[in-house]
A = this chain, B = another copy of it.
Amino acid sequence: MILTVTLNTALDLTYRVPALLPHASHRVTQVIERPGGKGLNVARVLGALGHETVVTGFTGGATGETVRGLLAATTAGLPGRVHDALVPIAGATRRTVAVVDAASGDTTQLNEPGPAISPAEWAAFTARFTRLLDGARAVALCGSLPPGIHVGAYAELVRLARAAGVPALLDTSGEPLRRGIAARPELIKPNAAELAQLTGSREPYRATRDARRRGAHAVVTSLGPDGLLAATPDGLWQAAPPAPVKGNPTGAGDSAVAALLAGLVDGTDWPTRLSHAVALSAATVLSPVAGEFDESAYESLLPRITVHDRAAA
């Protein structure tokens, strides 16, 4: 099975309003509730691809119960089973609110900070994580750290995974990413902004190679609509869709992470992995439901992804 970790899960709310006007009162015309947090999204996509997946991280309070119920409901019947191994905490899982203007489609995002995690809760989590590594073929460490967890938390989890011989994909930003890379994860998947913050360089090729020198075995950088750039022990590639796709980019990065994990456990070569990641990411942008992917778009896009060997260029 594949393990995904989400330390700061969320109840994701999407509110549709005719138009958001600061300091006015709005009647919300549509409310959508989704289980939130990058690792939960990755697990749902892995389940849809047929991979058995275990979800861990923290949930608590009434919002946490709602997230667990929604996770079960949105993964029931997928070809790959998704198991809930979330660790209970005293605090309440946070909410995020995306306010969508019906007219323009523009989104205003409000993110609660999340509950503080106690040292005892962190210890309970690392014990659970260590047990779950026994049986995992890969692990994804996803998203921001909730309050109360030390900034080297992802570095600690990467070391535990390496000790257990389980390859770790790290998808975070800022100081947790910087510390995490130094613990030598199998793969990191920054976007251009996260990479620039890490390396100080806005030139993607230079920054991607620089990030790899900092300790990651491989670096796959998201270039948004232009696809992915990968610096790996086997070479340097850029994979791109036939044309940029238009739609809702929510969850596109999580779909890329799921495809990269699937390629890792299936042992496919890098060009194949990257093709799947770009096609799945584009098929997620094209889906009318945020965070889901359009299966027929995925299948039709897959043979049309171009992969260039940048080292040869």
Q: Which residues of A contact B (CB under 8 A)?
A: 13, 15, 17, 20-29, 31, 62-63, 65-66, 94-95, 97, 99, 101, 106-113
Contact: A108 with B28, CB < 8 Å? no
**A31, B93: Cα distance in complex, Å:** 12
Contact of A112 among B22, B28, B63, B66 (CB under 8 A): B28
Tell me, rounded to whole Å, the shortest Cβ–Cβ distance linking A193 to chain B: 12
Contact of A113 among B20, B23, B29, B101 (CB under 8 A): B29
Contact: B106 with A99, CB < 8 Å? no
**A216, B28: Cα distance in complex, Å:** 32
Taking A112-B15, A112-B28 as contacts, is the C-beta distance between A23 and B106 under 8 angstroms? yes
Interface SS majority for chain A:
strand
**A22, B13: Cα distance in complex, Å:** 17
Taking A62-B62, A62-B66, A63-B62 as contacts, is the C-beta distance between A22 and B113 under 8 angstroms? no
- Identify the closest chain B residue to A13 (Cβ): B95
Contact of A65 among B17, B23, B27, B62 (CB under 8 A): B62
- Identify the closest chain B residue to A25 (Cβ): B109
**A22, B22: Cα distance in complex, Å:** 7
- Identify the closest chain B residue to A27 (Cβ): B111
Tell me, rounded to whole Å, the shortest Cβ–Cβ distance linking A285 to chain B: 18
- Give the chain B neighbours of A110 by CB distance below 8 A: 15, 17, 26, 28, 97, 99
Copies of this chain in the oligomer? 2
A-B contact list, 15 entries, CB within 8 Å: A13-B95, A21-B108, A22-B108, A23-B101, A23-B108, A24-B108, A26-B109, A26-B110, A28-B111, A28-B112, A31-B94, A31-B112, A31-B113, A62-B65, A62-B66
Given A20-B22, A27-B111, A28-B112, output 9 extra A-B contacts at Cβ < 8 Å: A15-B112, A22-B22, A22-B108, A23-B106, A26-B108, A26-B111, A28-B113, A31-B112, A97-B97
Contact: B113 with A24, CB < 8 Å? no
- Give the chain B neighbours of A113 by CB distance below 8 A: 27-29, 31
- Give the chain B neighbours of A106 by CB distance below 8 A: 22-23
**A312, B23: Cα distance in complex, Å:** 41
- Identify the closest chain B residue to A96 (Cβ): B28
Tell me, rounded to whole Å, the shortest Cβ–Cβ distance linking A155 to chain B: 24
Tell me, rounded to whole Å, the shortest Cβ–Cβ distance linking A118 to chain B: 19
**A63, B111: Cα distance in complex, Å:** 18
- Give the chain B neighbours of A29 by CB distance below 8 A: 113
- Identify the closest chain B residue to A19 (Cβ): B22
- Give the chain B neighbours of A99 by CB distance below 8 A: 110
Tell me, rounded to whole Å, the shortest Cβ–Cβ distance linking A143 to chain B: 14
- Give the chain B neighbours of A97 by CB distance below 8 A: 15, 97, 110
Tell me, rounded to whole Å, the shortest Cβ–Cβ distance linking A252 to chain B: 16
Contact: A107 with B23, CB < 8 Å? yes
Q: Which of A28, A106, A107 has the most CB of B within 10 A?
A: A28
**A113, B26: Cα distance in complex, Å:** 10
